[in-house]
Structure formats: structure tokens, C-alpha cells
Structure 1
């Protein structure tokens, strides 16, 4: 609130014009729960398991084997290893994902993604995935918007997986979702044509790619940035400049009773937050309520 007060004071030394009030938020672990594995991985697991049932030859290979066996540990560890600098598991996972959705239209993908989010329960929290959003963060989005900030979601997760639900749960329209994406191509047909996925990656929106894709989408350097992992360090560091002080938020998952307690994949970001005086938000100590819809 102190930062916003300074930013909106037109006569103040730290005034930020409305056109430059850009705020960027990571999604998994920042706006909604990412454990025991990111929500999108549950969706991917479902799709890969269906493929493994149809094609017996896939069952002995990752990531189809993990999907069929519901090996959440392998899937989650692939992400954690990525944040610790080892992309071997993530490469295998991404290859399977790209193959699973190749030649599917973006419209079909949006339909099955939305159905998954609206109907699939979280494995341990007793609520649907769409209801695993963090109420304090949604309140923060509304507070920033009320003071003239334009908000973008810059996630390592798939852009098109988030888009069907973000306007409803976050109030953020699909055109302001920046995320990882597969290659696309146009396929002509007698109904006006379709945009379909290719079995290749267009961009993985994590680490040093986050600032690149934020700039490509917004044409501006953000002044507010929020994340929760090592993959968010470049985005947090990119926020602001000497004439435009930034607010950098790092979400600390330290509440095993109401959510989860973990720092794996966030060790470097927590050390950097302490060294550079970023604002660390403790779920245990700073949030009276964790999830939207709770009393």
C-alpha cells in the first residue's frame, strides 16, 4: 500500500504514470496452488495416460509411464529439478506433452482444459482445481487495478491452459496471459479453418525468457512483479529501473497446515530476496485466509 501510494502521487518523486503501471504475476505457486504438482501437470497426466492406454508401446517410456502409473513424484521432481538447473526430466516431459496435443485445434484444447479445471478435484485439498486460487493474491490484483495498474500473468505454465479460466477466477482476460506455448499453424477446411498445435515448442516462459516475453507482449518494463521460485528471479530483477522503483514480491510456502511447506526450487530466489531486500510474503504469518471461498 505504501508503494502504491507513492506511485500514484502525481507530485511525488516516485510517481509512475498510469501507462507505465505494469504488474506481472507468475501463476503456479503465486496465484494458485502448485503442489503436489502444478495443476497443468494433472491435466497433462490425464491426457498422456489416455494415450498410453491406446498405444501399448508408450507404456514403458516416460512421461507416459509416469502418467499411467500416476507417478506424481516423477512429474513433480522434473519441475523441481528444472528450478535447480537440471532440465533432463523437463525435456522428456515437454516432448511427451507436445506430441500429445499435436494437430489438436486450439478450440478443442480450450474446451478440455476448461472442463478439467471445472470438474477435477485437487488430490489432497478437498476442493476443485479452479478453487485453489489464493484469496490474498486476488485481493492484491483488485487493489492494483483500482489504482490504475494493468496486470499480466507471466507463467511458465501453458498460456492456453490458463486462458479459459483466468477471467473468471482472476479477472484477467485471455489477451493478458503470457505463458509457455507450442508452435501453431493454420489448417484450412470448409468451416473457415482452424488454428492447430504443432509438435514443437514456440517458447518456454521461464527464467531469462520471462523478461523477453513480457517485453514482447507489453513493450514496457513492469514496475510490480510477483513470483515464488528460482524461475521467477529474472522477472523480479527486471522490474523497475532507477527512475521507476519497483515492488518485488516473493511468496514463501511455509504453511503445512493450510497449504504446503516447501522451499525446493526456491532456494536461490529466497537468498536473493534477502540480499536485495525484496518483499517475502509468508503464507503462514501474513495470510489470514489462503483460498478463495474459505470463511
Structure 2
């Protein structure tokens, strides 16, 4: 049975019809699909998973240095002031990045000087061991089963899929192949600046306390083109930050599919539209396929 986790209806039929057309009309090398991660492939509430990872590091820094406890974002992490963090993310999606810059400065400082290997080891251990605060399952088990089915269905039909996330590229890489069937070289995400340091053991690459790029909004199509060298046929997202990527998934004369995931299931997951208001309006205007977690998915995790 194809896509068993999807209920029969418009969304499932749109996916199946798109794949049928793509296989019939598009050469395999042009079958490219791109997926946001937070809120599209795995759960992002009550906060993005990577933010939990970072907050634990900031709290540890504040525990060791009392002077940090009066400064954001260390204060929010140390005092578990999650309201400030939620407001900061809402402001970002509304176009106000003043507090996001404050948060970003703390994030950059949190892992300054760490090697890329050590960072990946810490992130992988966190994802395997730490449980979601309300769902009670390990973070790696907070991926959406219907989206995994979609990735598998696309792969079986000659598609090459990429993760294109505002989250950290190197945070996702250690588990991307195991969880999504997407190899690490097809993970596109935000990153800090990196620096190579030579030594007698072949040298290493370390994190610098400088931003490189934030893979969100209009930056997503740029990064897709830079990495894949192709315009995707399918794009899936869930927020205002994914609008440019979904718009980019258009090829004149070729089948295309823009999927916008709607979080409207308070029983099995979460019910919210904050951060996706503009995207939902654009979906209606352009005829994107809106996927309702409540109505279109027979299972969630």
C-alpha cells in the first residue's frame, strides 16, 4: 500500500498524481525534492529541537559564570524563561529580528572553538538520549511517519531529496541518513563560520563565533541552487520562512508540487498557526497543497 499513513483525500491524491506525472514526464536526474525540517519532517513545539540543545549549553555556561545570568539569552536558558524565546521566534517570523540577533549572539558564543567532530558527537548523543518535554519520546522518534513515507516513495521513483532547513546543518547531519534516508551531503542548513587549524594529526575544523548564513526565507532558494544546481519539482514546508522555497519549486512545462504542512491537531501533536500566517494566505492564493495533520494523516509519529 502506498503512503499508508496518509488518509485518502485531496492531499494524498495530489502527491500520488504528481509523482505519476514526474515519472512519466521528467528525466530522473531532474527529479529533485526539497524539505524543510523543523515542523515539516519533525516536531518543532514547544520549541525547535536544536534550540533545546543550545539552551542546555547556555544554561551550563550561566551555571559556571554568574555574570552571564543577567544577560540574554543566558538568562532565559538559566531561568527557563521560555516565554522570551517563544516571543523571539514569533517576532522573527513577523519580520522583527532584534531579539533574534541577541539569541544568535549567544548561540555563536556557545560553541566557539569546538571542533566539528565534537559538535556532531554532542548533537547526535543529545538526539538519541534526550526526550521531548511533553510527548515523552526520544527526539529521534519525533519525526513524522507520513513524511518519512513520502521521502521513501519519492526515492523509489527516482527522486533526489534534500533537507533545506533554517536549523543547523551540522546538527542534522549525524542522523539524516538513518532517520530520513537522506545522506549528510544532501543536508542544507544554517551554519556558523568555520576555520581550519593545522596540527601534526592532519588538523581540524573548528567553530568560530561568527555567523556564516541563516538558511531561511529567500536564502533557501539560493542555497538549493548552490548545492543542487537545479530547481526542485517538489518543495515542502510549514512556515513563512519556507515561502520562497515553495515559490522556487516551479518549472515551466513540468509537474510541480508545493506542500504546506498545517499544524491543527492538538490531540496527537500541536495546534498552531503562529509563524505560518503569511504562508497559509499564499497557499490559498497560489493553490499550494495544504496538508492538514488532523485530517490528512492517519498517524503522526
- Look up the match of 1:195: 205
Gaps of 5+ in 2: 1-15
- Of the candidates 226, 238, 241, which is equivalent to residue 236 of structure 2? 226
- Of the candidates 182, 186, 195, which is equivalent to residue 196 of structure 2? 186
- Look up the match of 2:7: none
- Of the candidates 126, 136, 154, which is equivalent to residue 116 of structure 1? 126
**Would you say the 8 A contact 1:163–1:174 is kept in 2?**
yes
Offset of residue 72 of structure 1: 2.0
Higher RCO structure (Cα 8 Å, ≥6 apart): 2
Hey, which bits of structure 1, 4+ residues long, moved more than 4 A?
none
- Of the candidates 264, 272, 279, which is equivalent to residue 274 of structure 2? 264
Task: State TM-score, norm by structure 2.
Answer: 0.94
Aligned counterparts of 1:144 and 1:73: Cα–Cα separation in 2: 39
Aligned counterparts of 1:196 and 1:2: Cα–Cα separation in 2: 46
Look up the SS of the partner of 1:197 in the other structure. Answer: strand
Look up the SS of the partner of 1:202 in the other structure. Answer: strand
Structure 1 position 245 matched with structure 2 position 259: no
Offset of residue 140 of structure 1: 0.2
Aligned counterparts of 1:91 and 1:244: Cα–Cα separation in 2: 40
Structure 1 position 6 matched with structure 2 position 21: yes
Question: Deviations along 1:86-143, whole A, 9 cap, x unmatched?
Answer: 1112111111101111111000000110111011110000101111000000000000
Question: Deviations along 1:176-232, whole A, 9 cap, x unmatched?
Answer: 000000001101122211100111111100000000011000111111000000000
Look up the SS of the partner of 1:59 in the other structure. Answer: helix
Aligned counterparts of 1:121 and 1:264: Cα–Cα separation in 2: 24
Tell me how many residue pairs correspond in the alignment. 286
Look up the SS of the partner of 1:248 in the other structure. Answer: strand
Look up the SS of the partner of 2:254 in the other structure. Answer: coil
Offset of residue 55 of structure 1: 1.4
- Of the candidates 66, 88, 93, which is equivalent to residue 56 of structure 1? 66
**Would you say the 8 A contact 2:21–2:255 is kept in 1?**
no
Offset of residue 80 of structure 1: 1.9
- Look up the match of 1:12: none
Aligned counterparts of 1:199 and 1:68: Cα–Cα separation in 2: 21
Structure 1 position 274 matched with structure 2 position 289: no
Gaps of 5+ in 1: 10-14
Aligned counterparts of 1:77 and 1:133: Cα–Cα separation in 2: 25
Look up the SS of the partner of 1:249 in the other structure. Answer: strand
Aligned counterparts of 2:18 and 2:73: Cα–Cα separation in 1: 44
Offset of residue 245 of structure 1: 3.0
- Of the candidates 88, 104, 122, which is equivalent to residue 78 of structure 1? 88
**Would you say the 8 A contact 1:41–1:75 is kept in 2?**
no
- Residue range with higher mean Cα deviation, 271-280 or 66-75: 66-75
For residues 129-208 of structure 1, what are the structure 2 equivalents within 5 Å?
129-208=139-218
Aligned counterparts of 1:4 and 1:129: Cα–Cα separation in 2: 30
- Residue range with higher mean Cα deviation, 81-90 or 144-153: 81-90
- Of the candidates 264, 267, 279, which is equivalent to residue 254 of structure 1? 264
Offset of residue 170 of structure 1: 0.8
Structure 1 position 95 matched with structure 2 position 110: no
Look up the SS of the partner of 2:70 in the other structure. Answer: coil
Question: Deviations along 1:3-47, whole A, 9 cap, x unmatched?
Answer: 1111111xxxxx111111110000000000000000000000001
Question: Deviations along 1:245-295, whole A, 9 cap, x unmatched?
Answer: 31000000000010000000000000000110000000000111000xxxx
